[in-house]
Amino acid sequence: MEQPKKLLIIGFVWPEPNSSAAGSRMMQLISIFQEHSFEITFASPALDSNFMVDLSQFGVHKKAIELNSPTFDIFIKELNPAVVLFDRFMIEEQFGWRVSENCPNAIRILDTEDLHCLRTARQKAFKEKRTFELTDLLSEEVAKREIASILRCDLSYIISEVEIEILKNVFKIDSSLLQYLPFLVDEMNEEDLRKLPSFNERNNFIFIGNFLHEPNWNTVQYLNEEIWPAIRAQFPEAVLEVYGAYPSQKALQLHQPKNGFLIKGRAEDANEVVKKARVVLAPIRFGAGLKGKLLEAMQCGTPSATTTIGSEAMHPNLPWNGFVENDPHEFAKKAIELYQNENLWKNSQKSGIAIINQCYQKNKYAVELIEAINNLLQNSETHRLHNFMGSLLQHHTLKSTKYMSKWIEAKNKN
């Protein structure tokens, strides 16, 4: 039997699969590594939350760690992992140099979740009421940090093919440092659809998304101010249920039962509420990566109405499971049609299954993921030799980050 290899995941937060797509993705990654004989320790400097998953139930060791503390050096030396996975670039900045110093042979992998610099630059352009240009990324402060982090790692998981192209063409990152890794789900067929609630068993529109995520909160505001009034003007009985973890007081104040606009807060089981809804509304105006809520809608057999940003990189050349529309009035009109036209709704469901089966095949990408890891474990020296910019940044950043961290460490002692 294959000997377990040790994998250390350093999380930005403890996984909350019911609160965010990032939490679901992390659990997908954990299951793939476990299926291939990795023994996993999940460490994080974050505080525990009431909604975090119980990692011990999944056979994962949990370890609380501190920022700017030599206790991490002792911990990682003793653990001596073969592979370290950083959850987002901010974690690599904090712990990457300590990993390099204490376990220089460990393979360092970055899971970007989405390109933060792309999301930030698009958000700025949106707020400044101008068109986003790819060249905006070159002056984005967070881009310098994120790209440096990608270069310092042996491999980065990129969730969107659009982002792979940006990294290669705008930032000139070598493709040997990037691995396309979308959401990973099981295949579906039309028999699976028949087990789900039918058109007539479903009611209401739904939006679902963590309120701490700025693109989600902006979408709820947009629904409230423009999209929903346009839908209600043509379809007065319509009801929209807005679900999401961590709603703010501002969000709760948007609850207007007489207008059919209901703020429901955290869903106990996101899958269940999406299965009961007839149409998902997601008029997302800025963001990056792939939208977990829209893939979840497909899995639940729930057609969705979204924008170009919402559907970006999610359905290469395949019909959407609903429609993609940027104009708010057209969006409202098509949302009503999708809600009321049973044939259109059923065909949209089938389009969702085709997208799942062609674009998010867990088995296909899991095999590629493990092959890449094994290849790095066998050829890390050659791989690193060809990543000169990475070793250059590793050398200088290790020094600067190290001494900043040492200074904080010393300050904390006093």
**Whether 145 and 243 share a structural domain:** no
Q: What is the side-by-side strand order in the sheet with 304-306? A: 261-265, 240-243, 205-208, 279-282, 304-306, 322-324
Span of 223-227, 302-306, 398-402 with lowest mean pLDDT: 398-402
pLDDT digits (tens, 9 = 90+) for 110-142: 999 999 999 999 999 999 999 999 999 999 999
Q: Are strands 178-180 and 155-158 parallel, antiparallel or unpaired?
A: parallel
DSSP code, position 223: I
End-of-domain residue from the set 320, 335, 359: 359
Please name the residue that has the structure tokens 């049609």: 337
Share of the chain above pLDDT 90, in %: 89
End-to-end C-alpha distance for the chain, whole angstroms:
51
- On whether the CB atoms of residues 184 and 32 are closer than 8 A, the answer is yes
Please say if the pLDDT value at position 39 is more than 80. yes
The whole-number pLDDT of residue 407 equals 73
Residues 299 and 374 in one domain: no
What's the pLDDT at 392?
86
Looking at residue 20, its pLDDT comes to 85
Helix 89-102 to helix 388-413 angle, to the nearest 10 degrees?
Answer: 90
pLDDT tens, residue by residue, 306-337: 999 999 999 999 999 999 999 999 999 999 99
Q: How many CB atoms lie within 10 A of CB 124?
A: 14
Domain that holds residue 329: 190-359
pLDDT average, residue stretch 242-257: 96
111: its two tokens:
């899971």
Taking residues 20-41, what's their average pLDDT?
94
Per DSSP bridges, beta strands 83-87 and 5-10 are: parallel
| Domain count of the fold of the chain | 2
Same domain, yes or no: 141 and 216: no
For residues 382 and 354, state if they share a domain.
no
User: Which of 359, 387, 403 is at the close of a domain?
Assistant: 359
Q: Are residues 78 and 22 in the same domain?
A: yes
Cβ pair 387, 394 in contact under 8 A: no
Same domain? For 34 and 131 the reply is yes
Q: Percent of the chain scored above 70 by pLDDT?
A: 97
> What is each CA distance from 322 to 76, 203, 283, 300, in whole angstroms?
48, 16, 13, 13
20 and 115 part of one domain = yes
342: CATH: 3.40.50.2000
State which amino acid sits at residue 76. Answer: I
Whether residues 63 and 150 fall in one domain: yes
* pLDDT above 60 for 349: yes
pTM over 0.75: yes
Mean pLDDT (whole number) for 273-288: 98
Return mean pLDDT, the chain.
94
Q: Is the pLDDT of residue 2 over 70?
A: no
Q: State the Cα–Cα distance between residues 183 and 29, nearest whole angstrom.
A: 9
Say which DSSP state 103 is in.
-
pLDDT at 287: 96
